[in-house]
Amino acid sequence: MKYNRVGTSGLRVSEISLGSYLTFGEKVVEKESVQTIHKYV
């Protein structure tokens, strides 16, 4: 897994990500969210 630093904070995050609370929950219906997560995994 590749990681990138966030600014000068020392925090490292992976390059791979799957949405956030803005993507899943209120913006996308539950059925579509579950299907997307299953495809991702």
Calpha distance 28→34 (Å, rounded): 10
Asked whether residue 6 carries a pLDDT value surpassing 80, the answer given is yes
**% of the chain at pLDDT higher than 70:** 76
Q: Is 20 left (phi over 0), alpha (psi -120 to 50) or beta?
A: beta
Asked whether residue 11 carries a pLDDT value surpassing 80, the answer given is yes
State the pLDDT confidence band at 39, using cuts at 50, 70 and 90.
Answer: confident
pTM of the model: 0.42
Sketch the domain layout of the chain as residue ranges. Answer: 3-40
